[in-house]
Structure 1
Amino acid sequence: MDKHIGKTSFCKWTEPVSFENLPVGLQEKIDPTDAYVKKLFFDRFLKLMLNAVYSQRASLRDIQASLLNPDFQAAIGLESLSSSQISRKIRGIDSAILEEIFYFLVALANQNKRNDKLPKAFIVDSTTVSLNKNRYPWAEFRSTKSGIKLHLRLAYIGKGDAYPDKAVLTNASVHDVNKLEIVVDEKLATYIFDRGYMDFELFDKFSYGGFFFVSRIKKNTLVHVMSEYEVPPGGDILQDQMVVLGGKNGYLTEPYRLVEVTDTQENMLRIITNRFDLSAEEISQMYRSRWQIELFFKQLKQQTTIKKFFTQEENGLKNQIYLALMAQLLTYLVKLETHSDLSALTIQRYLFAFLWKASELWETRIRGKPTESK
C-alpha cells in the first residue's frame, strides 16, 4: 500500500469496531478470546470476516485467498492464514460478543440519526434461511429441511432510510408472533408489522402498555363497526372506521381504527391501528413503509454471505449473521456521517470501488461530488 495514501476506505469503514474504539466493558470480554492466540486476534478476525461477508466470499478457502492482497494484509496486520484457523475462530467466538458489538453500533446510529423530529417508527418482520437437514440437524424447521430465522426490527427514518435496530435469531420453527414482544419495547413508538403477527390479546396488551402499532388484519377477521369517519372523495382511502375485533365466543378487543385502502395493484388493504391522531392517508403511508424491511432482507441475502455458511455449528452461524448485520450498520454510519442521500447499496458499491484508496475519495463520492481516483 502506498505509504502516502493515508487512511483507506476499508479502514474508515471498520473504524467504529476497531478494538480501541469499543467500550471498555466489551474490550474486557474480548481479551480472554485472545489468550494463547498467535496470529488471528479478535480485532483481526472481526475485520477479516466483515470483509468476507460484505464481499460475498464463498468459502473459508476463498477468505484465505483474500489475504493474498497486500493492501488487505497491511490493513489487518496478517500475511497469511489457513482455512482451519478461520474455521476454529468463527466457531469459537461466543456469539454474545458479536451481538453486543452489533448493539454498540446500533447505539452509534441512534445517537447520530437524522430527522429526529419524526415520530419514532419501527418495522418488524422475519426472514428464514433454509438449511440442509443432514448438515444442520439442530436447526429444527420441517421434516425435510432445517432452517434459522432472523426476527428483525428496522428503525425507520424515511423513504429509503432505515437501519437494523434489533435482531433475534431462532430456529425457523419458532412462530413470528412468539418473538414480537421482545422487539416491541420502546413506549410511544409505532411498530409496523404484517398480518402474520396478528394477535388480539397482544394488540390490547400493547395499547395498555403505551405502544402504538399499525398492521393488517386477515380476510376472515370478525369486525364490529362502532362508528364511521369521513373519507375524502377521489383518493385511495375506501373506509375509515372505529371498530372492535373478534367475538362469537372469542376474544373481543378494545376499540381500534380500521382503514381500508387500495394498493398500486388495486387490491384492498385492511389496516388496523391504535393511532387515532393521524389521518387515514398518514396511516396508509405508514403501513406502506413496511416494504423497507422486505428490501433490507433482499439486500442482506443478495449482497452479503448469509445463505452459504462457513460452518455447520449453531454458534458459527449466529456469528456470521451478526457480522452481516454489522456490515450493514457500518455502511449506514458512513451514510449518516457524510449526510449522504445515496442508498446503502450504492455506498457499498462505492466502498469496493475505493476500498484501498484514500477514504477522502470515497467520502467525497458519497457526498455527491465526483472526483478522479488516484
Structure 2
Amino acid sequence: MNAGKTLFAQVMDFVPWKTFGRIIERHRGDTGVRTLSCTELFRIMAFAQLTWRESLRDIEACLTANQSKLFHMGMRHIPARSTLADALNSRDWRIYHALAMRLIDRARRLYAQEPMGVDLDATVYALDSTTIDLCLGLFDWAPFRSTRAAVKMHTLLDLRGAIPAFIHISDGKMHDVHVLDMLPIEAGAFYIMDRGYLDFSRLYTMHQCAAFFVTRAKSNMNARRVYSAPVDRTTGLVCDQTIALNGHYASKDYPEHLRRIKFKDPQTGKVLVFLTNNMTLPALTITALYKNRWQVELFFKWIKQHLRIKKFLGTSENAVKTQIWCAVATYVLIAIVKKELQLKASLYTFLQILSVSVFEKTSVSCALQTDAYTTAPPDCAKQLNLFTF
C-alpha cells in the first residue's frame, strides 16, 4: 500500500514536469504570476477533468472540503474562483497545447505495437471533426450560425491505441477540407477520410508526399474507367477499377489515375464507392480500412461523455482552448499510465475509479484491481438448526 501519495499525485508523476517547465519558460507563462502558476493551473484542470467538476464554484468547494489533502496532491493552496478565472483567461493556451503534444508523442510510441484490426504494417490515421455547440451571446468570437456559436475540434486519430496525433481547434465556420492544408503528411501512412475532405488538389498534394488516402466518392463525380480488375462478387465487391477524372479543373487538380472500389454491404445492402491512390492493396483491405474510420467517431463520443469539454469554465477563446487542451492532455496521460503500468482495466473504468478516489492513498494498481473475490462463509458447524424435528 502506498501511504505517502494519493492516486492523483501518482498519476501526475507521469507528467514530464521538466519538459513542461521548459515550455512555460519558452512562452514566458509565469512572468508576473504570483498566486497560480501554469503548473498549478494544469493540476487543477486535470483534477476537474478526473472528478467531473463543471464550474469554478464546484472546483473551489471540492478543494476546500479536502484542504488537508492538497499538499499530497501537489497543490499549495486553494485558488479563489476569480483567481482561477483570471488564470484561464491570461495563461497562454499554447503552453497546454505543447504539453499535450509532448504526451501524445510519448503515448504513440507506447501504443505503436497495438493491434489495429487490419493486417497492415503502415500507420493508419482517421481524420474527422466534431462540433461543440456554444452560446452566441457569451462566445461571440466563435460564430457558427445566425443564432449559434460553436468550435470545431479537427482530429487526426492514430488507429493504433486511439491516440490523437493532430488536433486543431477552430470556430464553427471553418470547413473541414481546409484542415488538409495543416496536416503533417507522413510518407507511407494511410489517411482515412469521409466525403467532406474530397478535394482533388489537396489529395494530389498528399499523393505527391508519398502518402495514401482512402475516401468516398461523391455521386456526381465525373470520371472514366481505364481498367477493371477481376473481383469476387460473393465478398460484396462490385467492381475494382482504375479511373481518370474527366472534368477540366478536376483533371488538372489530379492528373494521375485513381482507384475506384464499389462495395455492397451484405448486411445493410448499402452500396459504397471508395477512392484511393493505393493500387496494390486488396480491395477488401481498402474497405476494411474505411470501416475502421468509425474509431474517430467513437473517440469523439467517448471524450464528450467522459471529459469536460461541453461546459466551459470561461468564455474567452483562450479559456476554451486551455480547457480543451488540458482535457486532451488528461486523456492521453491516463492512456500512458494504463500502458506503463500494464493495467488491464479500460480507460472508462480507470476514470470512473479515479473520479471517486483521487484522494485515496493507495497504489494505482491496487485501486484498479478488478479481480472478483468472494468472502468465505462462516463456520456453521456449531450453529443449531431451528427447524430440526
TM over 0.5: yes
CA gap 1:183/1:366 in 2 versus in 1, 3 angstroms? farther
Residues 1:227 and 2:227 are matched in the alignment: yes
Kept in 1: contact 2:180–2:202 (CA 8 A):
no
Distance across 2 between alignment mates of 1:194 and 1:111: 27
Task: Provide structure 2 residue ranges, at least 5 long, that are not aligned to the other structure.
Answer: 115-119, 375-389
Kept in 2: contact 1:364–1:370 (CA 8 A):
no
- Corresponding residue number in structure 1 for 2:72: 74
* Residue 36 of structure 1, CA deviation: 4.0
* Residue 174 of structure 1, CA deviation: 0.8
- Corresponding residue number in structure 2 for 1:266: 269
Distance across 2 between alignment mates of 1:155 and 1:367: 28
Q: Secondary structure at the match of 2:359?
A: coil
Matched to 1:97, the amino acid is I
Residues 1:144 and 2:144 are matched in the alignment: no
- Corresponding residue number in structure 1 for 2:34: 37
- Corresponding residue number in structure 2 for 1:170: 170
The answer to which of 259-268 and 128-137 deviates more is: 259-268
Kept in 2: contact 1:120–1:189 (CA 8 A):
yes
CA gap 1:346/1:179 in 2 versus in 1, 3 angstroms? same
* Residue 46 of structure 1, CA deviation: 0.7
Distance across 2 between alignment mates of 1:330 and 1:273: 34
Q: Secondary structure at the match of 1:251?
A: helix
Kept in 1: contact 2:6–2:360 (CA 8 A):
yes
CA gap 1:114/1:184 in 2 versus in 1, 3 angstroms? closer
Matched to 1:329, the amino acid is V
Distance across 1 between alignment mates of 2:284 and 2:371: 37
Distance across 2 between alignment mates of 1:248 and 1:337: 52
Kept in 2: contact 1:155–1:162 (CA 8 A):
yes
Matched to 1:302, the amino acid is Q
* Residue 85 of structure 1, CA deviation: 1.0
Taking the TM superposition and a 5 Å limit, the aligned residue runs for 1:321-332 are: 321-332=324-335
Residues 1:352 and 2:355 are matched in the alignment: yes
Q: Secondary structure at the match of 2:218?
A: coil
* Residue 73 of structure 1, CA deviation: 5.3
CA gap 1:17/1:244 in 2 versus in 1, 3 angstroms? same
Matched to 1:80, the amino acid is I
Distance across 2 between alignment mates of 1:282 and 1:358: 48
**TM-score if structure 2 supplies the norm length?**
0.85
- Corresponding residue number in structure 2 for 1:126: 129
- Corresponding residue number in structure 1 for 2:385: none
Q: Deviations over 1:310-357 (max 9, x none)?
A: 111111111011011111101111232134565422332233354333
* Residue 108 of structure 1, CA deviation: 1.1
- Corresponding residue number in structure 1 for 2:323: 320
Which one of 291, 307, 310 corresponds to residue 307 of structure 1? Answer: 310
Kept in 2: contact 1:55–1:304 (CA 8 A):
no
- Corresponding residue number in structure 2 for 1:61: 57
* Residue 291 of structure 1, CA deviation: 0.5
Matched to 1:336, the amino acid is K
CA gap 1:223/1:104 in 2 versus in 1, 3 angstroms? same
State the identity %: 28
Distance across 1 between alignment mates of 2:206 and 2:17: 39
CA gap 1:240/1:354 in 2 versus in 1, 3 angstroms? farther
Distance across 2 between alignment mates of 1:255 and 1:341: 46
Q: Secondary structure at the match of 2:269?
A: coil
Q: Secondary structure at the match of 1:269?
A: strand
Q: Secondary structure at the match of 1:33?
A: coil
Distance across 1 between alignment mates of 2:156 and 2:16: 25
Task: Provide structure 1 residue ranges, at least 5 long, that are not aligned to the other structure.
Answer: none
Distance across 1 between alignment mates of 2:17 and 2:247: 59
Taking the TM superposition and a 5 Å limit, the aligned residue runs for 1:102-251 are: 102-115=100-113, 118-157=121-160, 161-245=161-245, 247-251=246-250
Cα-Cα RMSD: 2.5
Distance across 2 between alignment mates of 1:275 and 1:88: 51
Q: Which runs of 4+ in 1 moved over 4 A?
A: 364-372
CA gap 1:215/1:42 in 2 versus in 1, 3 angstroms? same
Larger of the two Rg values belongs to structure: 2
